[in-house]
A = this chain, B = another copy of it.
Amino acid sequence: MSRKREIHLGLFLQGAGHHVSGWRHPHAEAGSENFDLLRRVSQIAEKAKFDMVFLADGLTSGVDAHPSTIARFEPLTLLAALALVTDKIGLAATSSTTYGEPYHTARAFSSIDHLSQGRAAWNIVTTSYARTANNFSKSHPEHDERYAVAEEFVDVVRGLWDSWDDDAFIKNKQSGVYADPAKVHVLDHKSKFYSVKGPLNIPRSPQGHPILIQAGSSGPGQDLAARTADVVFTAQQSLAEAQAFYKSLKERVVKLGRKADDVAVMPGFLPVIGRTAKEAADKLAELDQWTDLKSAMPLLEERIGHSLTDYDPDGPLPDLPISDQLRSRAELLTALARRENLTIRQLALRVAAGRGHHIMLGTPVEIADRMQEWFDGRAADGFNVMPPFFPEGLEDFTQLVVPILQERGLFRTEYSGSMLRDHLGLARPALPSV
């Protein structure tokens, strides 16, 4: 793409907000199952010309979980519903390769791409938490095996998306030919983990392939992204770390013969916006005051993969082996604790606020500056915006920060196309020649 490089923005949508205590703010609406709230918030993001709405997902629940994840809509049905109340904004949902079936996944995202006229995206995850297996009558595979499965899973899905030529469904009433037999391709995939014949029972979708997002930042995660993804969602704490990740990822992309620009790197960040730096800090403190160690610790422990009950919360994070299951997140949090000399309590609070993502605190200009610094400094091609609570946390961002980015020519003032692929500046994939 020769067009000017612009920041991409995702709205990371969570019913009860991203800060663990966000829902307790007097202005917060907490709606895990409140479709009306999610609809309004998605429309706010669309009005601000965001690239996409983004839904994370998990397959477990419990009262100790982050309130946004105790109970929520099933993401694919939610995305289909959001397709009907929005026009232009992309629609991304998370679906696991460890707990899914390629045929179902290929079909559901294609279906959403049809329903939304070309706005669907699949966030590919391998599922971090081993307890998920308890809901699926199986055991949780090891980290690297999960990625081996994911590599094959994604290939099957992409193959199924190419089952039919774009013009296969001719529906000729005179000749009686509904689907042209010369334009169907039987996948006949048989490999280590999957055997999937095809063809898929849905026409090729408006985008050709729905957009592929990858979230998981270890070496194997980056390899999967470099080979298959259009967008990488990642958690990065500091500019330097983000730059290192960005470089590592783009090098892998180029090594595989793709262009560095073919993959957009989008770290998550949690904006806390004030008229002054002090007002922003006070806002965060207001939210943090509602977070006690009891609610914060499980969030830290599940991301570190170790129980910390035997350690002094006001002492340093002990030296613990990096959990293989959780690799990139466990490394990130350990590095953060070491770098900033955080106690367990401080680290737990940080996770409760941003779950390992960067927290941007400041005035609108300061936040725009930081975003520009990351963008110009090749730490990010865009950001997955994580408002601490809804809808106000998003409105602050769209009303106060977005106009600054637009004035600086860093962010669109209008959509130039109608598909997510257009927003990302990506060409429609051709059918593989036979």
Which A residues fall within an 8 A CB radius of B? 16, 21, 23-24, 26, 28, 30, 32-33, 35, 58-63, 67, 69-74, 76-81, 83-85, 99, 101, 103-104, 107-108, 110-112, 114-115, 134-137, 163-164, 169, 171, 173, 176, 178-181, 184, 193-203, 290, 292, 295
Contacts and interface: CB of A to CB of B under 8 A. Distances in A.
B114 A73 contact: yes
B76 A76 contact: yes
Contacts of A201: 58-61, 69-72
A58 B201 CA distance: 8
Contact of A81 (B58, B80, B179, B200): B80
Main secondary structure of the interface of A (DSSP, over half): loop
A103 B63 CA distance: 18
A202 B72 contact: yes
Residue picked from A28, A114, A164, A199, most chain B C-beta under 10 Å: A114
Nearest to A60: B201
A63 B181 contact: yes
A101 B103 contact: no
Contacts of A111: 73-74, 77-78
A63 B197 contact: no
Contacts of A292: 176
Contact of A164 (B71, B108, B163): B71
Nearest to A180: B63
B73 A202 contact: yes
A221 to B, nearest CB: 24
Contacts of A23: 171, 173, 178
A63 B24 contact: no
A30 B61 contact: no
Contact of A173 (B26, B104, B134): B26
16 contacts: A28-B173, A30-B171, A58-B201, A59-B103, A62-B199, A63-B178, A69-B201, A71-B203, A74-B110, A76-B77, A77-B79, A78-B115, A84-B84, A99-B101, A134-B197, A137-B193
A24 B74 CA distance: 38
Nearest to A16: B178
Contacts of A85: 84
A359 to B, nearest CB: 21
B196 A76 contact: no
Contacts of A84: 81, 84-85
A171 B134 CA distance: 27
Given A176-B21, A196-B135, A32 B203 contact: yes
A137 B188 CA distance: 11
Contacts of A290: 176
B135 A178 contact: no
Contact of A78 (B21, B78, B80, B103): B80
Given A81-B81, A176-B290, A196 B136 contact: yes
A138 to B, nearest CB: 8
A64 to B, nearest CB: 9
Contacts of A79: 77
Contacts of A202: 32-33, 71-74
A248 B103 CA distance: 37
Contact of A108 (B77, B163, B184): B77
A24 B171 CA distance: 8
